[in-house]
Amino acid sequence: MKTLVIYYSRTGITKKVAEAIAQKSQADIEEIIDLKNRKGVWEYLKAGRDAMKRIQSEIAVTKNNSDYYDLVVIGTPVWAGNMACAVRTYIGQNKDKFKKIALLCTMGGSGDQNTYAEMESLSGKTAAAKITVRTRDAGKPETGVRLDEFVKQFSL
């Protein structure tokens, strides 16, 4: 099965988990680049507000064509109970090309369920598998075990 892991990461947590998923599933991997500056305190506040308002960020052109893949794993940090703005753009641009999707959220503590619901609704697809990783658990061995199960689930 040809699999693409595509993710956005502001501070590296989602990137770390996405890389582990790609390695375990022998998938291609690509980062979504938000062309808006998201570093700094003011930008942090704006990011939360933009996510809540369902604003799409301008993103860099992606290299991998999602059309080519049997399944696309989409990874996002939870921002104000929603997906990151750059992920919203990516799904909006690619939803008609997806065959199957699986979803990854990383978060401090809450908001994953609403984020999944929005991602499924925007893509028009029901996810084959979903996994939430808390920021503090990203590098833990037990997370590795959960990621193995996630990969198994979407590879069926």
Ligand X SMILES: Cc1cc2nc3c(=O)[nH]c(=O)nc-3n(C[C@H](O)[C@H](O)[C@H](O)COP(=O)(O)O)c2cc1C
In angstroms, what is the minimal distance from the CB of 99 to ligand X? 26
User: CA-based Rg of the chain, rounded to a whole angstrom?
Assistant: 14
For ligand X, what does the binding mask look like between residues 77 and 116, x meaning CB under 6 A? Answer: xxxxx------------------------xxxxxx-----
Residue 147 makes contact with ligand X by CB under 6 A: no
Distance CA 29, CA 35 (A): 19
If the CB atoms of residues 135 and 155 are measured against ligand X, the closer one turns out to be: 135
Distance CA 118, CA 1 (A): 26
**3-state percent breakdown (helix, strand, coil) of the chain, nearest 5:** 45, 20, 35
If the CB atoms of residues 110 and 121 are measured against ligand X, the closer one turns out to be: 110
- Could you write out the three-class secondary structure of 49-79? HHHHCCCCCCECCCCCCHHHCCEEEEEEEEE
User: Applying CB under 6 A, which part among 8-16, 65-73, 116-124, 140-148 lies near ligand X?
Assistant: 8-16
Residue 134 tokens read as: 């808390």
If the CB atoms of residues 81 and 143 are measured against ligand X, the closer one turns out to be: 81
If the CB atoms of residues 92 and 108 are measured against ligand X, the closer one turns out to be: 108
If the CB atoms of residues 108 and 124 are measured against ligand X, the closer one turns out to be: 108
CA 74 to centroid of chain Cα atoms:
4
In angstroms, what is the minimal distance from the CB of 70 to ligand X? 25
Site residues for ligand X per CB under 6 A: 9-15, 44, 47-48, 77-81, 106-111, 135
